[in-house]
Amino acid sequence: MKQETFSDIAYSFRKKKSKREEFLEIMDEIIPWDEWVGVIEPYYPKGRCGRPPMGIEKMLRMYLLQIWFSLSDPATEDAIYDSYGLLSFAQPYTMPACRSGMVRKS
């Protein structure tokens, strides 16, 4: 279960959804995410060396946003930050409190 954020609560009181949000909700429902992740998984880097890779499903979602809306890599990142619909579709991970600087070190 996903914990609701203040943005989720604020956007839940809107009267109308954008066409982009409706499109993304439909795509989120009809795409068989588990099957697609299963196809990609054997070829996806395991993160044994260097920086750990992002999750397969998250990267797949971002890739689809790029294709559907004709975005470059930097434009996709900016669009996700600017649009609540794209942000909710991309399903960003939440950082643990200790990594985000919210926990004091004694």
Euclidean distance between CA atoms 57 and 77, whole angstroms: 16
The pLDDT assigned to 102 comes to 43
Predicted TM-score (pTM) of this structure: 0.73
- H/E stretch holding 32: none
Nearest to 21 by CA among 106, 98, 101, 85: 85
- Give pLDDT, residue 57: 92
pLDDT of residue 72: 95
Q: Mean pLDDT in each 10-residue stretch from start to end of the chain (106 residues)? A: 71 80 93 94 88 89 95 93 88 48 42
